[in-house]
């Protein structure tokens, strides 16, 4: 089975090269526990692989035999512009990695569709830049979910698409659309992604979710990577748990692996230790 690398080399090696092609993966975590750092790493590393293979090998190493790089990388945001996203990435990743890795990444700002029916003043989000591409008529007041879906239909096939974040859509639920509309859209996305053959990462902050809402998001995706804080004595540690993931969890269970200790380095999110089931 063809796999697309997450860009976290140690994790990719353990699961046969990355996420199975056609997967929708939920990156769900407590604030600061690593979900966003994971998505930054996936974005920059996959962008770097296409832009500068030599530098990619230095940061990441060799790809696994089953791994295939995405044709392109798209980073979709509902609230932030490209400059803000890149600046935030610099707090996590080495500057050289960000500069080279983001050079060919398409950053898509859906802020106009997201904010247009809110009390937010138009001047705060309507300053158009070259970061927004292929979104059609700027005067078209379409629903943000429709705009989002149209973009994925056009750009997701064989690509890595990072959605930052589903938390923004959760915040808009019941104001711009219903919660059921969001979950049905994600179930439809799961169906379409299997045909498209790329990988879609959905970032969500679990602090803003009710347990039933979190369960519905997990049900609407192929895999869930859960990022948590663990406390021991006076220190806290970031951990990663693979809660469910077709084509991935079975490999880890064969090795009796249940939990990863993680850390953030200059080359991004990384696994520092493996916890086995006892």
Q: Tell me how far apart the alpha carbons of residues 33 and 163 are, in angstroms, rounded to a whole number.
A: 18
Cα distances (angstroms) measured from residue 67 to each of 9, 13, 156, 167, 174? 11, 10, 18, 30, 40
User: Which has the closest alpha carbon to 58: 89, 94, 112?
Assistant: 94
Look at residue 133 and tell me if it is in a domain.
yes
- CATH at 145: 3.40.50.300
Place of tokens 């090998």: 57
Looking at the domain assignment, is residue 257 inside a domain?
no
Owning domain of residue 16: 3-176+197-225
* In-domain check, residue 238: no
pLDDT, position 234: 66
Instruction: Compute the average pLDDT of residues 152-157.
Output: 97
C-beta neighbour count of 21 within 10 angstroms? 20
**5 pLDDT higher than 50:** yes
Where does the pLDDT of residue 141 fall: very low under 50, low under 70, confident under 90, or very high at 90 and above?
Answer: very low
Residue of 230, 148, 225, 224 lying closest to 192 (CA atoms): 148
Residue 13 located in a structural domain: yes
Confidence of residue 132 (pLDDT cuts 50, 70, 90): very low
| pLDDT, tens digit (0-9, with 9 covering 90-100), for 208-252 | 999 999 999 999 999 999 999 987 766 788 999 998 898 898 888
Asked, for residue 256, whether it belongs to a domain, the answer is no
Q: Which residues of 239-250 are buried (b: 16+ CB within 10 A; e: fewer)?
A: bbebeebebbbe
Does residue 117 sit within a domain?
yes
Q: Quick one: what percent of the chain has pLDDT higher than 70?
A: 91
When pLDDT is averaged across residues 75-102 and rounded to a whole number, the result is: 96
Q: How many domains does one find in the chain? A: 1
Determine, yes or no, domain membership for 252.
no
Q: Is the pLDDT of residue 110 over 80?
A: yes
Predicted pLDDT at 69:
97
pTM of the model: 0.91
Q: What are the strands, taking DSSP E only, across 97-143?
A: 106-109
């Amino acid at each position: 089975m063809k796999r697309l690398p997450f860009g976290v080399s140690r994790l990719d090696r353990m699961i046969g090269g990355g996420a199975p092609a056609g997967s929708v993966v939920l990156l769900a975590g407590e604030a600061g526990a690593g979900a966003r750092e994971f998505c930054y790493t996936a974005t920059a590393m996959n962008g770097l692989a296409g832009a500068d293979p030599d530098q990619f090998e230095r940061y990441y190493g060799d790809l696994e035999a089953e791994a295939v790089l995405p044709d392109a990388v798209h980073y979709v945001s509902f609230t932030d512009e490209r400059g803000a996203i890149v600046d935030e990435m610099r707090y996590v990743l080495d500057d050289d990695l960000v500069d080279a890795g983001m050079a060919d990444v398409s950053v898509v700002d859906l802020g106009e569709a997201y904010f247009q029916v809110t009390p937010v003043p138009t001047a705060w989000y309507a300053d158009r830049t070259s970061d927004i591409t292929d979104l059609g008529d700027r005067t078209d007041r379409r629903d943000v979910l429709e705009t989002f879906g149209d973009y994925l239909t056009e750009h997701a096939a064989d690509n890595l698409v990072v959605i930052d974040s589903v938390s923004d859509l959760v915040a808009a639920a019941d104001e711009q659309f219903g919660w059921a509309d969001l979950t049905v859209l994600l179930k439809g996305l799961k169906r379409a992604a299997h045909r498209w053959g790329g990988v879609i990462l959905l970032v969500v902050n679990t602090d803003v979710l009710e347990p039933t809402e979190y369960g519905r998001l997990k049900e609407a995706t192929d895999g869930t990577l859960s990022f948590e804080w663990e406390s021991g004595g006076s220190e806290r540690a970031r951990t990663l748990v693979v809660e469910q993931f077709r084509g991935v969890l079975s490999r880890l269970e064969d090795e009796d692996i249940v939990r990863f200790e993680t850390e953030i380095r200059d080359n991004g999110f990384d696994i520092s230790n493996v916890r086995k089931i006892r």
